[in-house]
Structure 1
Amino acid sequence: MSTRAEAKAAAGDPSPDGGVNSAPMLTSSKGFCSVRHGLALMVHLCNFAISTQQMNLSIAIPAMANGTALPGPHNTSAEEPPPGDLENGNETLMTSKAVAPVYDWSPEIQGILLSSLNYGSFLASIPSGYVAGIVRTRHLVGTALFVFSILSLLTPLAAEAGVALLILLRLVQGIAQVMIQTSQYLIWVKWAPPLERNQLITLSVSGLMLGYLTVLLAGGFLSETLGWPYVFYVFGGIGCACSCLWFPLVYDDPEDHPFISTGEKDYIVGSLAQQDCAPDRSLPIKAMVKSLPLWSILLSQFSENWYFYVMMAYLPTYLNSVLQVDLKGSGFLSALLLAVAFVSVILGGLLADLLLSRKVLTLIVIRRLFTATGVLFPSVLSVLLPWVSFSLGITMAFLVLSFATSSLCQAGSLVNFMDIAPRYTSFLRGLSLVFAQLSGVIAPTVSGFFISQDSEFGWRNIFLLSAAVDISGLVFYLVFSQAEVQDWAKEQTLTRM
């Protein structure tokens, strides 16, 4: 293995300001056909797997609780035909085999079931971020993905056993999910050259959007044709397959990867030689609390996710109730917008790295510019939505632009924590998830209150509040954000708790 001194010699001495653009220009001949981009594809598949399994209950629960199964013991429909029905016995048996069990769940129980995964994620966000800094990322992510997927396969059995067991299963899935979400960023601390970090991260994160899109398009079809259990079987099986690929193909450090070329390994190690990213089990809590750049990222996470969660929760309802689009059409249009976001996330990462590598803009300018674009455009367009509701075409054009530009935040403030404290990446990712999930709890609740109070002006108030929250977070971020490693995140930090 190369020593730290050798790596620094390969990269050159760091400049006084520690800026990315001051490092010597290192190039890799492999480009996109490289091990690091293959690694990004594996993380992409991992995110795809967890996002499909995150939403599978939302897709399946209408059939689980409100299906048209034949009445029978335990609310199941896979019963044999009545003994005296000889004429239609075979036909009834064939039909009943295709109908899945249906359960007598109240709306309150359904709400708890749908929220239980988020409860697990919320409770485990910060602890999992700390654990991820101790346990090897390769083992933690791969094991968590496997557990998450196995539990998806067991979901139909858990539902048959009772609501309590199903809630417990979803809680454990939430813990496994947040471990994956916090740990995966640690991979890029050692694998992503500074001039390629945006494209590698956005390529991997785009798997979430592709997963949401896929489960929206395929989940209902599986539920209607094969029965709702297959929603869990298919996507759980995909997750198990991804976890089996994970262990032989993913390694924590390019130094340990058996398939990487010497040229690519030297390029990655040399480009990261100036970065102090050695993991540290102790946390400078006091310094973190006083860090305005860190607070700017956390508040930005809260404000930007406010708009995202409002759209995810109420977009089909808005299309149906305001624009008079039927449920099937609203589902298709929602999937279309997710497809736009999927493409925009990847293109945004590529554009950010292009501007950085060509030295057109500095890293902090890129973070602020992409964040401002990803906030201002969606805010203005969403406020204008009530005024163009007379036209489905104009509304969809506004929504497409809104989803496309909001995705740029992924190359802006949403990855800024890796710039200011790479050695605490997993912990800060877990901390930022807490703020994002708080937004996910508050935003849909407040939006539902507005709609229930005034159906005519409720949507206008929802969009105005969303814009106000988003822009407030943006202002704070633009004033206090930074892109260089903070003093409390460096090795020589003395004050710790």
Structure 2
Amino acid sequence: MNYMQTVKVNNQKATIFVIGAVPVRFNLWIMIFTSCWVVYMLRVNMSLNIIAMVPQTHSTSNTTSVSQCNAKDAIIRNVTLQHEDIADVRQAPRETPGAASFEWTPDQQAMILGSYFWCYPVTSLVGGMAAERWGPRYVVFITSVLSALLTIGSPAAARLHYIALVVARFLLGIAGGFIYPSLHALVARWAPPTEKGKFISAMMGGTLGTVVTWSVTGPLVEKFGWASAFYVPGALALIWCALWWYLVADTPADHPRISDTERKYISDALGDKVQKSKGLPPFKSIVTSLPFLAMVVLHYGNLWGLYFIMTVGPKFVSSVLGFQLAAAGVISALPYLARLLLSAIFGVIGDCILARNLMSTTRIRKFFCLFSHIIPGLFLVLLVYAGCSTVLSVALITLSMGANGAATLTNLQNHQDLAPNYAGSLYGIANAVGSSAGFFTPMITAYFTRDGNGFEQWRPVFFVGASVYIISAIFFIFFGTGEIQKWNFSEKDQIDTDNKQKNGDPRELKDTPLSVVST
């Protein structure tokens, strides 16, 4: 397959016809996207599977709320907003075909859901450093294989004892923690500056992984039983691992099938900002950097909202809104589909703004916090007052997560701005802190919904989520930045950079994006 490449010749743009395969960067984007897909597929399946594994019983308090949202005449009277919805897509509770009968208490279920995140922050912390030292290709491959095998073994663990399933999920979280920091280290080595938004948007592959997993899990369970919802994702993950090993390399210089033109373009665009081999990150400078701390706070707010919908969203849709298991999976996936689509749009918008110098990097990061954090938080506040309105509740959750797609221009890119040389490590540290939301959100939800699953019990949960979203954005707007930090470079690199600036660097960095047109 041939493609067109736009280059600069004597400061004039020119388009040349290049004989060869699809650019390796495109293949890399696909593999990063599907890597996030796979890790989320293995992470979120438990949120829906557990509904089929545990008999759904309701307390007296909960029965009132369920009957309110599943009236026999299918008319739902919303006390708060004083309007009616036709709930023809919801049905009275019935036994799910293929369901199991594990007698796990709400606290035990919360432990199973939250165990994934117990050590996830720790491995996120070291994941970036591991990728920077041994290469992201190896780290992602090994941890993905382990994750697939643990998922396939989960049904046997559940039958043995719920603690065995907790251990399996705990080990799965250990392996999963390495993935995202490693992918960010890979992006730092491959993505030219004017293509960062597109590459970071590939990190939303986990969103599609959630959409597909939740959409097919319900029908899969109802037709083949709950265990199939573990076996199928695990088998698919093993197939993906083989493709990853063949198609991905740690750097353009290491890739056996990249063209000389593309390798040179990436090398010139990145310049000397990223070195392949380096020592430990400058932790003292990092943890005392206010811009970095602002990025961590922003990332925490993003993950709080993300993990809230991911871990307890299916329960809210099933228990409060009254959808059956198959429908609950589809409805719960809608917010993630919106997030996926809008993240791609926001990524392109950010790249265009940066390429045309319409806004500085710092202004882009701060301005789009409005969409990635503040607007999603406001939608969660409105959701508190939606009552049993099916359409309104689903629409607000979907709009909240959809607007959060702008995270591709805020917390998901800011660590690349601050220190591309240590992008994996910075993201790992931020993810280590932010991932604690993964086990706090199920605990908080279990605490407030202990006596029932009505809107009255869920309202404090949504208020907490909205507050974290908005406060984290305000903090970043005051203290964040998109400027590269001095500690990105070692002392020797800093001296060399200062000398180049003093004497003039003859090499001109070419940030012209590669335009690819298949023919």
Alignment-mate amino acid for residue 426 of structure 2: L
Contact 1:11 1:273 in 2 (8 A): no
Paired position in structure 1 for 2:24: 35
Alignment map for 1:329-340 (pairs within 5 Å): 329-340=327-338
Alignment map for 1:265-276 (pairs within 5 Å): 265-276=263-274
Residues 25, 188 of structure 1: alpha-carbon distance in 2 compared, 3 angstrom cutoff? farther
| Structure 1: unaligned runs, 5 residues or longer | 1-9, 13-22, 68-97
Greater shift in the superposed pair: 413-422 or 123-132: 123-132
Q: CA RMSD in A?
A: 3.3
Among candidates 45, 56, 60, match of residue 56 of structure 1? 45
CA shift digits 1:365-413 (9 cap, x unpaired) = 2111222221221122222234444754444443333222111012212
Q: Which consecutive segments of 4 or more residues in structure 1 shift more than 6 A?
A: 23-30, 98-101
CA shift digits 1:92-130 (9 cap, x unpaired) = xxxxxx979765555544443333222231332223333
Task: Please state how far the C-alpha of 1:142 moved relative to its aligned partner.
Answer: 1.0
Alignment-mate amino acid for residue 479 of structure 1: F
Alignment-mate amino acid for residue 36 of structure 1: R
Paired position in structure 1 for 2:508: none
Partner of 1:275, secondary structure, is coil
Would you tell me which structure has more strand in proportion to its own residues?
2
Paired position in structure 1 for 2:474: 475
Residues 476, 279 of structure 1: alpha-carbon distance in 2 compared, 3 angstrom cutoff? farther
Alignment map for 1:61-460 (pairs within 5 Å): 61-66=50-55, 105-203=104-202, 205-319=203-317, 328-389=326-387, 391-451=389-449, 457-460=456-459
Alignment-mate amino acid for residue 470 of structure 1: Y
Contact 1:26 1:267 in 2 (8 A): no
Identity %: 27
| C-alpha distance in structure 2 between counterparts of 1:327 and 1:158, whole Å | 23
Contact 2:145 2:237 in 1 (8 A): yes
TM-score (norm 2): 0.77
| C-alpha distance in structure 1 between counterparts of 2:245 and 2:146, whole Å | 14
Residues 222, 39 of structure 1: alpha-carbon distance in 2 compared, 3 angstrom cutoff? same
| Structure 2: unaligned runs, 5 residues or longer | 1-6, 57-96, 495-519
| C-alpha distance in structure 1 between counterparts of 2:483 and 2:287, whole Å | 18
Contact 2:200 2:412 in 1 (8 A): no
| C-alpha distance in structure 1 between counterparts of 2:103 and 2:319, whole Å | 28
Task: Please state how far the C-alpha of 1:195 moved relative to its aligned partner.
Answer: 0.3
| C-alpha distance in structure 1 between counterparts of 2:13 and 2:306, whole Å | 37
| C-alpha distance in structure 1 between counterparts of 2:210 and 2:32, whole Å | 16
Task: Please state how far the C-alpha of 1:359 moved relative to its aligned partner.
Answer: 2.0
RCO greater where, 1 or 2, for CA within 8 Å and sep 6 or more? 2
How many residue pairs were aligned? 445
Alignment-mate amino acid for residue 180 of structure 1: I
Residues 247, 332 of structure 1: alpha-carbon distance in 2 compared, 3 angstrom cutoff? closer
| C-alpha distance in structure 1 between counterparts of 2:430 and 2:179, whole Å | 14
Residues 302, 101 of structure 1: alpha-carbon distance in 2 compared, 3 angstrom cutoff? closer
Paired position in structure 2 for 1:46: 35
Alignment-mate amino acid for residue 471 of structure 1: I
Alignment-mate amino acid for residue 266 of structure 1: K
Contact 1:344 1:404 in 2 (8 A): yes
Contact 2:191 2:199 in 1 (8 A): yes
